[in-house]
């Protein structure tokens, strides 16, 4: 029985800031879905001494230690060597792991290099788990009264392997009555926290607030978390877009468009294609996304979207009038059933006292509705653009309700 979980991220690239970690959140969420919270996370350099020290200090009775990184075929991939050495175990060529490696190359139609088979050398007593997204298997090893799970560092491989490895370790998913999620857009973290307090949920469930630009996820844990999530969602209305599931706003919006038989067109200025990229990241988006126009300059707003030069001169590119005209223009030119438009000042330059950096206008139009939303977004250029994308999708989601 595992009482706590810890995560060890291995990689010089993480310590040097060359790569941002994307594995901790995925691993933590997978553990949470099985009733375990991460109590500690560390980042280690790619060397035997550092990894061995971390394993020695973190692993113990009742601990599930998940490592990511260092499972590849090169000399700097030494996680399994360090784990084996720390636990007094030899590395052995595992027949099942070798089969996994060879199968991967066979599926790609190329010979398996002899050097790739070092990825089948694992600590004695380990249980290998097939990697559905890459070559190096994951491993599960019981030792010192705890369990070590080692995953590759490539994010898509770690994401694909963490569930099967947790299954192999005997961690079943917990029921929804134990935990729940409410995903929101356009409501500040403080307002969501105040609502949770007013509803008295802080006294009956553990809560965690996970903010992102213009979005906040509320996680609840406890016997009545599912009913508590439904209560909060009812108070939030269309500001809550997913309850009890980790669906993205773009996926939820796409589903709503498809249900209504609407194809969506987008017109983007300050977001420069980010909105279209988010929408088309959803599998099957061709069933509801028509396309988009990136009209960054005023000239292209006029020539591609039909925004009048007189309108631009009178109100400026960042205005309600321009956003509405952009939405109408892309709706007509793409023959879409619904449209979104975004225009703003992402910074760091370009702001004025009347329209400071972070000013963004969003417009949505469709059958029976047209709406515009003024926004004052905070943060750097990336945060403003990400927040604008979230609010654009949220506005259309709200109007479709």
Q: Looking at residue 33, what is its pLDDT?
A: 83
Contact between 149 and 65 (Cβ < 8 Å): yes
pTM of the prediction?
Answer: 0.79
* The domain boundary residue, chosen from 247, 268, 302: 247
Mark whether 110 and 239 lie in a shared domain.
Answer: no
Mark whether 185 and 333 lie in a shared domain.
Answer: no
Is position 268 within any domain?
Answer: yes
* The domain boundary residue, chosen from 200, 226, 247: 247
Q: Phi, psi (5° rounding) for residue 356? A: -70, 165
Mark whether 93 and 36 lie in a shared domain.
Answer: yes
In angstroms, the first-to-last Cα distance of the chain is 45
Tell me which residue range forms the domain holding 20: 4-168
User: What CATH number does the domain containing 264 carry?
Assistant: 3.90.950.20
Q: Looking at residue 231, what is its pLDDT?
A: 94
Q: Looking at residue 174, what is its pLDDT?
A: 63
* The domain boundary residue, chosen from 168, 201, 235: 168
Series of mean pLDDT values for 10-residue runs along the chain (401 residues): 94 94 94 90 96 98 98 95 98 98 95 96 98 97 98 97 97 69 97 94 85 95 88 97 94 98 99 98 98 98 98 98 99 98 98 97 98 97 98 98 91
CA distance to 267, 270, 303, 316, 363, per residue, from 295 (Å): 7, 9, 9, 14, 15
Mark whether 92 and 31 lie in a shared domain.
Answer: yes
Mark whether 229 and 371 lie in a shared domain.
Answer: no
Q: Looking at residue 278, what is its pLDDT?
A: 98
The Cα–Cα gap between 106 and 166 comes to: 27
Beta bridge partners of 342: 268, 362
Contact between 332 and 323 (Cβ < 8 Å): no
Q: Looking at residue 64, what is its pLDDT?
A: 98
DSSP string of 361-387, one letter each residue: EEEEEETTEEEEEEEE--SSHHHHHHH
Contact between 155 and 25 (Cβ < 8 Å): no
Is position 119 within any domain?
Answer: yes
The Cα–Cα gap between 152 and 77 comes to: 10
Half-sphere exposure of 87 (CA within 13 A, CB side): 26
DSSP letter assigned to residue 45: -
Mark whether 235 and 142 lie in a shared domain.
Answer: no
User: What CATH number does the domain containing 159 carry?
Assistant: 3.40.980.10
Run of H or E residues at 389: helix 381-400
Is 47 buried (19+), middle (13-18) or exposed (0-12) by CB count in 10 A?
middle
The Cα–Cα gap between 158 and 67 comes to: 10
The Cα–Cα gap between 1 and 290 comes to: 51
Mark whether 55 and 152 lie in a shared domain.
Answer: yes
Mark whether 378 and 256 lie in a shared domain.
Answer: yes
DSSP letter assigned to residue 78: -
Is position 173 within any domain?
Answer: no
Is 279 buried (19+), middle (13-18) or exposed (0-12) by CB count in 10 A?
buried
Mark whether 154 and 16 lie in a shared domain.
Answer: yes
The Cα–Cα gap between 304 and 400 comes to: 26
The Cα–Cα gap between 310 and 398 comes to: 31
Mark whether 291 and 220 lie in a shared domain.
Answer: no
Is position 174 within any domain?
Answer: no
The Cα–Cα gap between 295 and 254 comes to: 23
- How many structural domains comprise the chain? 3
Q: Looking at residue 246, what is its pLDDT?
A: 87
User: What CATH number does the domain containing 210 carry?
Assistant: 3.30.70.2860
Mark whether 9 and 150 lie in a shared domain.
Answer: yes
Mark whether 229 and 283 lie in a shared domain.
Answer: no
């Amino acid at each position: 029985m595992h009482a706590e979980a810890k995560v060890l991220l291995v990689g010089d690239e993480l310590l040097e800031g060359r790569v941002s970690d994307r594995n901790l959140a995925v691993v933590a969420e997978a553990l949470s879905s099985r009733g375990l919270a991460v109590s500690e996370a560390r980042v280690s350099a790619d060397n035997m001494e550092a990894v061995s020290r971390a394993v020695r200090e973190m692993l113990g009775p009742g601990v599930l230690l998940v490592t990511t990184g260092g499972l590849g075929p090169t000399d700097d991939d030494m996680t399994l060597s360090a784990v084996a050495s720390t636990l007094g175990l030899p590395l052995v060529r595992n027949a099942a792991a070798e089969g996994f490696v060879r199968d991967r190359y066979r599926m790609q139609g190329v010979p398996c290099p002899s050097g790739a088979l070092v990825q089948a050398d694992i600590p004695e007593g380990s249980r290998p788990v097939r990697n559905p997204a890459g070559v190096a298997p994951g491993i599960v090893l019981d030792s010192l009264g705890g369990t070590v799970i080692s995953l590759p560092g490539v994010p898509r491989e770690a994401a694909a392997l963490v569930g099967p490895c947790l299954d192999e370790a005997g961690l079943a998913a917990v029921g929804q009555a134990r935990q729940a999620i409410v995903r929101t857009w356009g409501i500040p973290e403080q307002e969501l926290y105040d609502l949770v307090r007013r509803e008295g949920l802080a006294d009956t469930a553990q809560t965690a607030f996970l903010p992102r630009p213009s979005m906040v996820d509320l996680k609840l844990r406890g016997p009545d978390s599912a009913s508590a999530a439904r209560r909060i969602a009812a108070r939030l209305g269309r500001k809550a877009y997913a309850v009890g599931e980790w669906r993205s706003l773009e996926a939820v919006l796409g589903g709503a468009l498809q249900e209504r038989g609407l194809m969506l067109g987008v017109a983007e200025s300050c977001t420069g294609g980010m909105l279209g990229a988010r929408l088309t990241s959803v599998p099957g988006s061709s069933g509801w996304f028509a396309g988009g126009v990136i009209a960054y300059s005023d000239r292209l707003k006029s020539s591609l979207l039909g925004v009048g030069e007189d309108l631009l001169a009178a109100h400026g590119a960042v205005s309600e009038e321009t956003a509405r005209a952009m939405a109408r223009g892309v709706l007509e030119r793409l023959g879409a059933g619904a449209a979104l438009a975004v225009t703003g000042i992402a910074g760091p330059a370009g702001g004025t006292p009347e329209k400071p950096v972070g000013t963004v206008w969003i417009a949505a139009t469709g059958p029976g509705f047209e709406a515009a939303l003024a926004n004052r977004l905070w943060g750097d250029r990336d945060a403003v653009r990400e927040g604008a994308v979230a609010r654009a999708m949220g506005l259309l989601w709200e109007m479709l309700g």
